[in-house]
Structure 1
Amino acid sequence: MSPESSHPPRRPAAKADDDLAKRDRIKGIFSTQAIQKVGTGTTTRRTIQKMYWFVEEDEGHILEIQPLNKNYVPSGPKRRIALEELLDKFSPEPEFYISTVYPRLRELNMVIQKGEKHREKGEIFSAELEFGQALAVDEENIRANFGLGLTYLDRGEANKADDIFQRLVRLDAAFEKEHKHLFNEFGMNLRKNKMLDQALDYYQRAEALAVRDDHLMFNIARAFFDKKDYARAMEYLQKALALNPEHTESRRFVAFLEEKGLAKGPVIQSPEAAAVPGDDPPS
């Protein structure tokens, strides 16, 4: 037997890609087990600790896992995982997903939706109640945190809004594309409530996480303008235009700063009296 014939034939790469494209994307609950020692000396005993994970595969076939919290909903940081590791170290739990996790996720989303509808109608106390109920189930839920923070800003409760800001600015998921609308709205409301340092910390945290967006750069410029730091405002307007040369609001803002001599020179007019462009709307 030749050396070549002793090994199974490899699947062509194109065939493997076709198989990957044809199969359903993975989404569900998996578990891992770890053996832990409890006690000391003669009382030592071993226990098996089971941990549940929510696993989801995106359109690019990237797998991410997220732990379930004590209320059996996905919460906390996500991490990527290779398919080989998933198959080797994790066990599927389809019944647990259907019987426990999916109903709780559905209920949580319904509570958040109710909170968002109350806020849209200006029913801020009812909105606060719903968002608070959602956070009791998942304290790191991004939509619930944004909703509660915006509710506090609607009420002018800066101290409570600041608590939410401190929580959100630590959560990388708050700056993901799926939350872009809420992210922009929250940042603009921080600025409008004169929480300029928080707004800048918040926006620049997004910039540090490599969020490259002309609307983000424009809104950072707007916050620097409100702080009367016109040179930094111009710097971020140029960043916005580098990302999108056709960004109309940035062009108008640059023209305004140049016309008033605010780009590099001293203050000659108060921001309150200046007819500057408003915040960039969420996109």
Structure 2
Amino acid sequence: MSEANEFPTILGVFSLRRAEDVGTGATQSRHTQLTYWYARQLDQRAVELQPLNAYHVPSGIRKQAILADFLKSYTPEPRYYEANTVPALKSLKAKIDQGEKFFSMGLLDDAEKAFLKALMIDEVNVPANYGLGDVYTEKKDFLKLRRILTVLMGLDDAFSTEYRQKLNTFGINLRKQGYLDESIEFFNKALEIQKNDEHIYFNLARVHYDKGEFDKCIGILNIATTLNPEFVEARKFISHCERMTIQ
């Protein structure tokens, strides 16, 4: 099996114990701080760590460590992982799956409730926030949508290659529902992180087209075709926009 198929690999939950001196002089005492981390091995040398929240699921900023250093400092917690994290992750996934099922059936209120329950476990969960964002887009509930957009724009993970499909679908849904400025803002944020994704450029160009900004649309499409000269759909779109500018 190749390394590409082996990694990333879930290592489980590990604890980190650190002693800290509190106070000064005669009142000084030493306290031990114990934190729990979810670990994934990325390759032969690197590990990705994410802290567990109060509900025992990985949440928040991820960091990387050298595998050898990680093994020296962190202690495996297999019982904690099996008793707490695995059931919590299953519950979280079930709520997200339920929300996506309800959404696909057009049951927006039920989908909203399911995604909100997922966010009670992990408020910065990317799929749950995307799901809730789709619900509010369909409902045309701008105030709630704006709050979700603010959360997503603050999550770099939301723009990672792992969520590439959700990213593009969400931005497209914003455009289709008439939230053109929000769609532009969202796709521009995505391009700060995914600078070489021709599909994001293409979808951004579509928004400018809907705004009647044909020259800007063509300029963005030219970037997409530079990144991928075989992007036939983008080239056809450029030809269409050029005809629009002549009229």
Q: Using structure 2 for the length normalisation, give the TM-score.
A: 0.90
Q: How does 1:1-283 map to 2 (within 5 A)?
A: 25=9, 27-38=11-22, 43-58=27-42, 62-261=46-245
- Structure 1 residues 87 and 59, CA, compared in 2 at 3 Å: closer, same or farther? closer
Q: State the alpha-carbon separation in 1 of the partners of residues 171 and 200 from structure 2.
A: 9
- Give runs of ≥4 in structure 1 deviating > 4 Å: 21-26, 37-44
The 10-residue stretch of structure 1 (30-39 or 200-209) with the greater mean CA deviation from structure 2 = 30-39
The 1-side partners of 2:190 and 2:7 are apart by 35
Counterpart secondary structure, 1:139: coil
Distance 1:261 1:90 in 2: 62
**Counting helix residues as a fraction of each chain, which structure ranks higher?**
2
Q: Give the gaps of 5 or more residues in structure 2.
A: none
Percent of aligned pairs sharing the same letter = 35
Q: CA deviation at 1:241?
A: 1.0
Provide the residue aligned with 1:14 in structure 2.
Answer: none
Query: Residue by residue, what CA displacement relative to the aligned partner does 1:215-274 show, whole Å, maximum 9, x if unpaired?
Result: 111111111222333222111111111122232321221111211226xxxxx6xxxxxx
Q: 1:24: Cα distance to partner?
A: 10
Distance (Å, rounded) in 2 between the aligned partners of 1:227 and 1:62:
45
**Matches of 2:177 and 2:7 in 1, distance apart?**
50
- 1:9 maps to none
Per-residue CA distance 1:179-218 (angstroms, 9 max, x = gap): 1121111101112222222211211111111342221111
Instruction: Please tell me whether the aligned partners of residues 41 and 48 of structure 2 are also in contact (alpha carbons under 8 angstroms).
Output: yes
- 1-side partners of 2:26 and 2:183: how far apart? 57
**Cα separation, partners in 2 of 1:60 and 1:149, compared to 1, 3 Å:** farther
Structure 1: distance between partners of 2:183 and 2:6 = 45
Equivalent residues of 1:149, 1:161 under 8 A apart: yes
Contact 1:25 1:61 in 2 (8 A): no
181-190 or 56-65, which deviates more: 56-65
* RMSD, matched Cα: 2.3
Once the 2 structures are TM-superposed, how far is the Cα of residue 25 of structure 1 from its aligned partner?
Answer: 4.4
Write out per-residue CA displacement over residues 112-133 of structure 1, whole angstroms, 9 at most, x where no aligned residue. Answer: 1011101000111111101000
Aligned residues: 244
Greater mean alpha carbon deviation, residues 214-223 or residues 24-33 = 24-33
Provide Cα deviations, 1:70-127, integer angstroms capped at 9, x if missing partner. Answer: 1110001111110121012111111111111111111110111011101000111111
Query: 1:147 & 1:252 partners in 2: Cα distance?
Result: 32
Aligned residue in 2 for 1:281:
none
Counterpart of 1:186, as a letter, is F
Q: Would the alpha carbon gap of residues 103 and 255 (structure 1) be closer, same or farther in structure 2, given more than 3 Å must change?
A: same
Unmatched runs of 5 consecutive residues or more in structure 1 = 1-17, 263-267, 269-283
| In 2: Cα distance, 1:182 partner to 1:220 partner | 15
Most deviating of 98-107 and 61-70? 61-70
- CA shift, 1:170, in A, is 1.0
Q: Is the 8 A contact 2:130 2:170 kept in 1?
A: yes
Cα distance, 1:75–1:22 mapped onto 2, change above 3 Å: closer
